[in-house]
Amino acid sequence: MLSKPSAENKAKARERFSDPLFSFGIVLLFLLLLFALFPEKRIMETMAHSPARSRLVLSYREAFLRTRPYDSDLRIKLAEGLAESEQFKRALKVLDEHEGTWSSHREGYLKVRYRALKGRLESGAMTEADRKRFENEYLRVARELGSVDPAFLAREKSMAAAGGAGSESYRERARGFFRSMKEAGSVAKRRDLFMKGVKTLLAGNLPVEALDEGEANMSGLEADRQTLLFMTRTALGAGRPAAAQRFISRALGMQLVSGRGGGA
């Protein structure tokens, strides 16, 4: 008599199904299908009118870059999107891996590198030696930028000062929505306030904070399918595919349980 599969074997099967390589393979096949169905020029035009930090746009550009590693303009646009989505380490890596020359794109390269270095220094934990190295490079890039575009650094400093105050106002408004959730009398009202809080942070160009604060304030909505789908999109926008997979898996699991219950 055949024995029933153990809980451990089932867990291993689930782990294999959610393997990151499996997920990457699906994305790659999807991209290859798009390349086969649509002219490359049309895809590039579509990307030009989409947000640079969009997860789909980033995936397209990464795929295109594998076939044209010497394309300076494409590499700068990919690094720019990564920096906008606060993936500063990856943005620097993309720039460092360039196999061509920056001679005809020097200004664009310096601007993206400046923003990526600034973000890396402000957001990432690192050793003292690494911090010193990044600080030296940041100052070097800033000096070179000052000679290429004298007004650029002044604009960046002005935007940083305004953005700092502006970001805090978005955070405060989001905290207000999250606090109000405690007084909500229904799941629908709680969900509405929750989404407003997360969307407020997204409107303030704080996608990573929107995801983190959303996860921290989901109390009472952990089993709400609409909330899980909303957080899936938020995680993708923040460049966190693993978190998106976690949310969508829970949402799909609930849908399957609901479907089985409805057919009983």
Local confidence band at 202 (pLDDT 50, 70, 90 cut-offs): confident
- pTM for this one? 0.48
pLDDT tens-digit map of 203-231: 878 888 899 999 999 988 988 999 999 99
Residue 112 has pLDDT above 70, yes or no: yes
Per the CB < 8 A criterion, the answer to whether 218 and 247 are in contact is: no
* pLDDT grade for 14, boundaries at 50, 70 and 90: very low
> Whole-angstrom Cα distance, residue 51 to residue 84?
10
pLDDT band (50, 70, 90) for residue 67 = confident
Q: Which of 7-11, 12-16, 160-164 has the highest mean pLDDT?
A: 160-164
Alpha carbon of 5 to those of 9, 13, 109, 136, 253: distances in Å? 6, 10, 55, 58, 20
More confident residue, 62 or 43: 62
- Kindly state the percentage of the chain with pLDDT values over 70: 70
Is a pLDDT exceeding 90 seen at residue 163?
Answer: no
pLDDT at 96 over 90: yes
Residue 70 has pLDDT above 50, yes or no: yes
Residue 182 pLDDT: 85
Distance from C-alpha of 131 to C-alpha of 70, rounded to nearest angstrom: 30
Instruction: Provide the pLDDT confidence category of residue 155 given band limits of 50, 70 and 90.
Output: confident
Looking at the predicted structure, is the pLDDT value of residue 48 above 80? Answer: no
pLDDT for the residue 264: 38
Give how far the C-alpha of residue 121 lies from the chain's centroid of Cα atoms, to the nearest Å: 18
Residue 136 vs residues 85, 94, 98, 122: alpha-carbon distances, Å: 24, 20, 21, 14
Q: Looking at the predicted structure, is the pLDDT value of residue 133 above 70?
A: yes
